[in-house]
Each structure stands twice: as structure tokens, then as C-alpha cells.
């Protein structure tokens, strides 16, 4: 991800010159502060393609080291501190205290300025020079995470970027509009007589407007591409699009479907939980040195204090040592039949049988609990807080069935951190799907449309079985392990609004006293205006009615 070197953006209703003129310092200092303020505000002016990992609890996490480096260093009177104080004093930004763990402050534009309407302002020559220097060198992970403004420049997955130039996305606006109108019609009762009814409507319409912008970018091929320096995932015009709206998308005028791995993160974990993945004697492409070499260095550097390095533990797997009995249990987990069984449903069945002493579990019970099991497994894999992990019955069920695997995860989090574990699995996913499988599928079938959302491949329905077959072949050839994949059609030329989907959208945008603070950052007038005009542009009465209803009334 790279900075745009020339241009920033600020809220259109903010007069920066007026703020700067009130500073009692010389003109040179004022100019430096103005230059830095443009850069700082650019990081807070979010749009439909803003990186999700930068937002937490409704605030934007900005690395303090990067701010100091670009804007100016110093103590309490530094330009960075001056900018923060001016913006806070004038109620232009809200700010959370410094987070020592993240080495960052968190900010957001005040509700009055988070409108989505911005003015473009060129960065100063000095700011552009600093950003150019950053772009030309390898930055640390902390700094890399904060890069927000980026060009259409990505050299890691050119075969995937090219697909957006070769194939055409279109939207069935008749179906889309009918669905969105059904959502809005139901919202009037759904949000009625609630304390934050107004904000619920604002959140809903802002979501609709943001989604329309994303769909327009796909139709017009106006897409920003980015691959993360951390997890190597590929972000494109599809990754930010809400899943519920994919049903209105068509590629080359054809209905589309998706193919993805079953229990992807668990499968990947099982596929690397073997001696060969880290073996210095292995010549396999699917090797830690090709995916996360820095972690392999950690393994070696920390080996002398590795808690699992004990007498009798002669088996080395993924940074930890095991005895023969423990190795057998790990192999039992690793040998799970992903090709013919669903891991989450299978674990749910085991847990419920143990809890109820029933031999046969109703399929609907398992289905209803699959999502909760999946969520709990993600918690087991990536949450280093052992108290939180142990409090869940699914976590306890996993620990009972696979105690040594659970111990492995706990020790890995202690030795190398849960973040490294998450990055490792996500990099493996990117290596398998983005770097290898999609590349080889396109090499063998160059006319097939291939688009990705992480581990999921999107294609037209006339290619779905081909992609499913090729995906299995490529993954198994790389990992040497049987994989399960599932495919389904996601867009249809004929369909009616789905009530379940409508309810999910309405629930997500229902604002309460608990959620208001987190949701404010996603509400802006430009998206709301776009949504109202799209839905009611041909109905002046409804247009006026909703414009009046959606007039923002700040609540504190």
C-alpha cells in the first residue's frame, strides 16, 4: 500500500486558514502547521474504501511515530501536538488517550465534520518528499499498517488486477432498487419510537449510499487495489462490498457464483501442522520460508528458551516440541477429513452428543449452531486471553477433543504472539489461493473470469464447476492434503427481496446508546444524499419527506 504523494483531502465545511491565523507564531511555522493539518485530516476523511483494520470502536488508529515523522517531531510544542490541540479545542476531532500497547492515538472527525464531503488540497513539497521517501524504503510493520492513501499500483497480484480490465461488472439496478426500497419501507416500523431512531435512519441510508459508490466503482472500473504487507491479502472492489449486495452483480452479463474452502483457517492450520512445513530439508513450495520467513527466524532465535524443549520431546512441529504420544494426537487433528466432512458441524455434533448423551443429533440443531462454533474456533485460534477462551462451551469441547492442539495454540501465543499466528495462517491462505491457485487456473483457462475475496473465488456460473475442480486440484497439489470446497450461486436475474437479509441489514444499523459512539464514524451526508436521490429521485414527494426525516440532529 502506498501513499498518494501529491494530494490530500479535508472536510469541505472546514476553514483551515481561519484556524491557522489564530496561531501566535511566525508565518513559516503557521505554514508548516497548515501543511501538517492537511495531511492529518486526510487520514481521518474516510470513504467507502477505507481500510477496516484502521477503525476500532468507532475511532481511527493512527501510529504516533508516523505522524511525528511526516508532520514534525518534538515534545509538547511539536507541530503534531499543536495540530491535535487546535483541532480538539475547536471540536473538529474527537480523540482517545494514547494506547501504549499500540503506540498510537485514536481519532475521528467530530460529527459536524464527518460529512463525507471533502475538498482536495495538494500536499506541500515537504510532506510529499517525506511520503516519497517512505514509499521508497521498507517500513516497519507498525508504519506499514498506517498507510492509507494509495495509488492503483500493485505488483504482487497482477494476474488478479488484470481481471478487472478484461471482464465487465454490471449491476441489475431494477432488482437492487426494489430490494433497497423494501429495506427502507420496513425500516419505518422497525426503527419507530426508539431513542435513536434518527441515527438508525442516518446509518441505514449512509450504508446504502456507501454501497452504491462501491457498485459504481466496479461498473466504471474505478478501483483501488492494495495488498497488505502483513497478511498478503488482496483488497479490491469486491472485498469491501457488503455480502448481501453481491446478489445484484453480474460478470459479462452472466449470473455469478462463489467457490471457497470449507473451514479455511482450520484447514490451513491442519495443513501446516507437520514437520515438513518448517524442515530445512524440505524442497516444497508450501514452506514457511516462502510464506513467513521472519517467523522462522523467531523460531530459531527463541529456540533456547522454548518451553516445550524438554527430555522426550523429540518431534519438532511449527516452532514447538512434542513427545510421540502428543504427536499422534496432533496428527489426528491434522488428518481430519476436510474433503468429506464439515469441521464446524462435526465438532458441534461431538459437543452436543457429549452434553446430551444422545447418539443422533438433529441436522437442524447442528446447522443452527455451526456459526457459533465457527466463531468460537476463531476465538481459540487468535485470542491469546486464555480466560476468555476457556469460558466458552465450544472452547471447552475443542480442548476435550484435541487437548494437545489446544496446548499447542496456547504455547504458540505465549512464545510468538497470537498476531503472528493470525498472520501466518492468512499468509498461507494468500499463498494458496491468490499466488498459486488463481494464477495456475488462469494459465490453464485464460478466458475464465477469476475474482477473489480472500479465500473465495468469484466466477460466472458457466465456469463454476471448472473453477471448483481446478481449485481442489491446485490446493491439494500444493498442500498434499485433501481439501473440501463448496460452491453456490450468488446472483440471479430473477429474484424477490429476501426478508431474512432485510432484517439482518436493519438490525445491523439499529442504533442504541451502546452502539452510537461506534457507528457515528460511518454516517456521512454525501452517502445519505446519494441514497435518497437513488431511491426517490423520481418521486418528489418521497424525496422531500426523506430529506426532512434525515436532517441530522446532533444528540449528545
Q: What secondary structure does DSSP assign to 426-446, as a single string?
A: HHHHIIIIIIIIHHHHHHH-T
Per-residue pLDDT at 342? 93
User: Does position 520 have pLDDT exceeding 60, yes or no?
Assistant: yes
User: Does position 365 have pLDDT exceeding 70, yes or no?
Assistant: no
Average pLDDT rounded to a whole number, residues 473-480? 96
CA distance 67 to 98: 13
Cα 254 to Cα 226, 452, 466, 553: the distances in Å are 27, 17, 16, 44
Sort strands 456-460 and 451-453 into parallel, antiparallel or unpaired.
Answer: antiparallel
CA distance 369 to 351: 11
pTM of the model: 0.83
The model's confidence at residue 25, banded by pLDDT at 50, 70 and 90, is: confident
CA distance 512 to 221: 37
The model's confidence at residue 131, banded by pLDDT at 50, 70 and 90, is: confident
Q: CA Rg, the chain, in Å?
A: 26
Range name among 22-36, 128-142, 262-276, 418-432 with the lowest pLDDT average: 128-142
Computed over every residue of the chain, the mean pLDDT equals 87
User: Does position 144 have pLDDT exceeding 50, yes or no?
Assistant: no
Q: What are phi and psi of 482, to 5 degrees?
A: -60, 135
Per-residue pLDDT at 148? 37
Q: Which residues contact 159 (CB under 8 A, 6 or more apart)?
A: 438, 439, 442
Residue scoring higher pLDDT (43 or 229): 43
Average pLDDT rounded to a whole number, residues 102-120? 87
Range name among 140-154, 269-283, 490-504 with the lowest pLDDT average: 140-154
User: Does position 356 have pLDDT exceeding 90, yes or no?
Assistant: no
Residue scoring higher pLDDT (301 or 155): 301
User: Does position 151 have pLDDT exceeding 50, yes or no?
Assistant: no
CA distance 46 to 52: 10
Residue scoring higher pLDDT (360 or 121): 121
CA distance 124 to 127: 5
Q: What percent of the chain has pLDDT over 70?
A: 89
Q: What cell does 417 get?
A: 504472539
Torsion of CA 328, 330, 336, 338, to 10 degrees: -150
Range name among 55-64, 270-279, 289-298, 357-366 with the lowest pLDDT average: 357-366
User: Does position 554 have pLDDT exceeding 70, yes or no?
Assistant: no
Per-residue pLDDT at 208? 97
Average pLDDT rounded to a whole number, residues 148-168? 72
CA distance 84 to 37: 9
Q: Cβ distance 201 to 192 under 8 Å?
A: no
Cα 130 to Cα 2, 31, 67, 69: the distances in Å are 13, 16, 11, 8
User: Does position 461 have pLDDT exceeding 90, yes or no?
Assistant: yes
Residue linked to cell 480472500: 454
CA distance 311 to 323: 9
Q: Which residues contact 76 (CB under 8 A, 6 or more apart)?
A: none
Strand 451-453: give its sheet, edge to edge: 451-453, 456-460, 256-261, 485-489
Residue linked to cell 431511491: 535
Per-residue pLDDT at 138? 42
Residue scoring higher pLDDT (77 or 95): 95
Average pLDDT rounded to a whole number, residues 357-384? 74
Residues 378-437: pLDDT tens digits? 988 988 776 666 667 788 889 889 999 999 999 999 999 888 999 999 999 999 999 999
Amino acid at each position: 500500500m502506498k501513499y498518494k504523494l501529491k494530494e490530500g483531502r479535508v472536510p469541505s465545511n472546514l476553514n483551515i486558514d481561519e484556524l491557522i491565523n489564530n496561531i501566535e507564531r511566525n508565518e513559516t511555522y503557521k505554514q508548516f502547521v497548515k501543511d501538517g493539518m492537511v495531511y492529518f485530516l486526510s487520514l481521518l476523511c474516510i470513504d467507502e474504501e477505507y481500510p477496516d483494520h484502521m477503525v476500532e470502536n468507532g475511532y481511527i488508529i493512527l501510529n504516533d511515530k508516523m505522524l511525528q515523522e511526516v508532520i514534525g517531531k518534538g515534545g509538547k510544542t511539536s507541530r503534531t501536538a499543536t495540530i491535535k490541540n487546535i483541532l480538539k479545542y475547536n471540536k473538529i476531532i474527537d480523540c482517545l488517550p494514547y494506547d501504549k500497547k499500540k503506540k498510537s492515538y485514536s481519532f475521528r472527525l467530530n460529527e459536524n465534520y464527518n460529512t463525507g464531503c471533502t475538498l482536495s488540497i495538494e500536499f506541500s513539497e515537504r510532506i510529499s518528499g517525506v511520503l516519497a521517501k517512505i514509499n521508497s524504503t521498507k517500513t516497519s510493520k507498525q508504519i506499514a499498517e498506517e498507510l492509507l492513501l494509495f495509488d492503483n499500483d500493485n505488483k504482487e497480484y497482477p494476474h488478479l488486477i488484470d481481471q478487472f480490465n478484461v471482464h465487465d461488472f454490471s449491476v441489475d439496478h431494477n432488482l437492487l432498487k426494489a430490494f433497497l426500497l423494501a429495506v427502507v419501507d420496513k425500516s419505518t416500523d422497525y426503527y419507530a419510537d426508539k431513542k435513536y431512531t434518527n441515527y438508525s435512519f442516518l446509518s441505514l441510508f449512509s450504508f446504502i449510499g456507501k454501497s452504491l459508490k462501491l457498485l459504481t466503482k466496479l461498473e466504471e472500473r474505478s478501483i483501488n487495489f492494495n495488498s497488505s504487507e502483513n497478511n498478503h491479502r488482496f483488497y479490491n472492489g469486491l472485498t469491501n462490498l457488503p455480502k448481501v449486495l453481491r446478489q445484484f452483480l453480474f460478470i459479462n452479463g452472466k449470473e455469478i457464483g462463489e467457490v471457497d474452502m470449507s473451514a479455511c483457517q482450520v484447514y490451513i492450520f491442519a495443513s501446516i501442522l507437520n514437520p515438513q512445513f518448517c524442515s530445512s530439508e524440505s524442497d516444497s513450495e508450501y514452506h514457511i520460508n516462502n510464506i513467513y520467513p521472519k517467523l522462522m527466524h523467531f523460531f530459531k532465535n527463541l529456540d533456547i528458551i522454548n518451553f516445550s524443549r524438554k527430555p522426550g520431546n523429540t518431534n519438532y512441529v511449527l516452532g514447538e516440541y512434542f513427545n510421540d504420544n502428543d504427536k499422534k494426537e496432533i496428527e489426528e487433528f491434522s488428518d481430519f477429513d476436510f474433503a468429506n466432512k464439515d469441521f464446524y458441524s462435526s465438532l458441534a455434533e461431538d459437543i452436543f452428543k457429549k452434553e446430551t448423551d444422545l447418539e443422533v443429533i438433529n441436522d437442524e440443531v447442528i446447522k443452527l449452531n455451526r456459526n457459533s462454533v465457527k466463531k468460537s474456533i476463531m476465538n481459540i485460534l487468535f485470542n491469546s486471553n486464555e480466560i476468555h477462551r476457556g469460558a466458552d462451551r465450544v472452547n471447552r469441547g475443542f480442548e476435550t477433543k484435541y487437548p494437545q492442539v489446544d496446548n499447542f495454540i496456547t504455547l504458540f501465543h505465549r512464545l510468538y504472539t497470537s498476531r503472528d499466528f493470525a498472520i501466518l495462517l492468512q499468509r498461507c491462505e494468500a499463498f494458496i489461493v491468490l499466488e498459486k491457485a488463481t494464477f495456475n487456473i488462469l494459465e490453464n483457462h485464460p478466458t475464465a473470469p477469476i475474482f477473489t475475496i480472500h479465500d473465495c473465488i468469484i466466477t460466472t456460473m458457466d465456469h463454476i464447476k471448472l473453477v471448483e475442480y481446478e481449485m481442489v486440484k491446485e490446493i491439494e497439489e500444493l498442500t498434499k492434503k485433501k481439501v473440501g470446497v463448496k460452491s453456490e450461486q450468488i446472483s440471479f436475474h430473477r429474484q424477490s427481496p429476501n426478508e431474512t437479509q432485510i432484517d439482518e441489514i436493519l438490525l445491523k444499523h439499529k442504533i442504541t446508546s451502546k452502539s452510537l459512539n461506534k457507528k457515528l464514524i460511518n454516517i456521512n451526508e454525501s452517502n445519505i444524499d446519494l441514497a435518497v436521490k437513488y431511491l426517490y429521485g423520481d418521486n418528489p414527494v418521497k424525496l422531500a419527506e426523506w430529506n426532512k426525516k434525515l436532517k441530522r440532529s446532533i444528540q449528545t
